[in-house]
């Protein structure tokens, strides 16, 4: 059992929880994710690690209440327990493998959309701890949807806020804010990390490509089972079939087929869509050798 030691409401339907999970806290790295399950019959919910406190033995998660399972999670309180808390899973950020000198030479910009701010935070915090400068853009529809602003200010070299309605910071989306920084404010970036809703990542990646900024995106939002068995997070990256939970969650943004990923994300919400995807995917539906999924005739 894994105890909720702290719960904080970030916005009306966005919640932060610190979970007592000492083994995960010891080994987790920026970019990785965990899977939680509330009880024996509960749904497996993959969530990117937002923060880790090795001294307290806690892992921080941030989630939005959108479906039945996350609504049930939202109702949990400090002192309640998750039955399962599995992780760290997935591959850590490639930035972990580079030296501080290499990282500072890259001139990095992070671009977060909505709840995507949560998985951006641990990467920025890691860079700050090793003395690496980086800029961050947080984008949202309106000021009330901005999360973790104060926390991000402490670790980012420069933090820019963009709101679609102009209620706070730059008036426009994160992609337009980036273009303004580069084209009108003389900023120069050699590497971008984009995390947010799929449609936001698609169009922001189009902007980074226009600006010739090599880009990494995190596809954590399309994971369902997080073991490679369900096939929901199957994506095409370049000429290869990849699974977000096994091969990712981060990929070269210029190579990701976002249209295919968004189509699959929509189809997987219905049983009919799941069946059609199994037929279309055939032998690549699951890359887990222990999966008992069968191809449709």
> How far apart are the C-alpha atoms of 35 and 44, rounded to whole Å?
6
Radius of gyration of the chain (CA): 19
Annotated binding residues: 62-64, 230, 233, 245
CB 116 within 8 A of CB 148: no
Q: Kindly give, in sequence order, each residue whose CB lies less than 8 Å from that of residue 291, ignoring residues fewer than 6 positions away.
A: 228, 229
Annotated binding residues for [2Fe-2S] cluster: 230, 233, 245
CB atoms within 10 A of CB 204: 28
CB 193 within 8 A of CB 108: yes
Annotated binding residues for FAD: 62-64
- Which token pair is 271? 């049983």
How does DSSP assign 66-132, residue by residue?
-SHHHHHHHT--TT-EESEEEEEESPPPGGGGS-HHHHHHH-EEEEEEGGGHHHHHHHHHHHHHTT-
> How far apart are the C-alpha atoms of 259 and 192, rounded to whole Å?
20
């Amino acid at each position: 059992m894994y105890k909720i030691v702290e719960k904080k409401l970030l916005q009306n339907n966005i919640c932060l929880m610190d979970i007592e999970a000492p083994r995960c806290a010891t080994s987790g790295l920026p970019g990785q994710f965990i899977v939680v399950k509330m009880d024996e019959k509960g749904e497996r919910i993959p969530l990117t690690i937002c923060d880790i406190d090795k001294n307290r033995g806690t892992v921080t998660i941030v989630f939005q209440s959108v479906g039945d399972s996350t609504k049930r999670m939202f109702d949990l309180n400090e002192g309640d327990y998750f039955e399962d808390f599995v992780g760290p899973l997935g591959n850590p950020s490639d930035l972990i493998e580079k030296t501080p000198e290499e990282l500072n030479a890259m001139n990095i910009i992070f671009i977060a959309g909505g709840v995507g701010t949560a998985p951006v935070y641990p990467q920025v915090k890691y860079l700050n701890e090793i003395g690496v400068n980086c800029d961050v853009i947080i984008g949202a529809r309106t000021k009330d949807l901005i999360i973790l602003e104060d926390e991000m200010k402490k670790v980012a070299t420069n933090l820019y806020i963009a709101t679609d309605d102009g209620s706070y910071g730059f008036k426009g989306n994160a992609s337009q804010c980036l273009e303004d920084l580069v084209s009108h404010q003389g900023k120069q970036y050699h590497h971008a990390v984009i995390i947010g809703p799929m449609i936001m990542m698609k169009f922001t990646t189009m902007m980074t490509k226009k600006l010739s900024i090599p880009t990494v995106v995190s596809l954590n939002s399309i994971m369902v089972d997080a073991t490679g068995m369900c096939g929901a997070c199957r994506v095409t990256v370049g000429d290869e079939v990849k699974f977000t939970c096994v091969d990712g969650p981060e990929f070269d943004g210029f190579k990701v087929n976002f249209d295919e990923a968004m189509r699959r994300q929509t189809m997987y919400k219905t049983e009919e869509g799941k069946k059609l995807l199994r037929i279309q995917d055939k032998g690549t539906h699951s890359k887990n050798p222990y999966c008992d999924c069968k191809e449709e005739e």
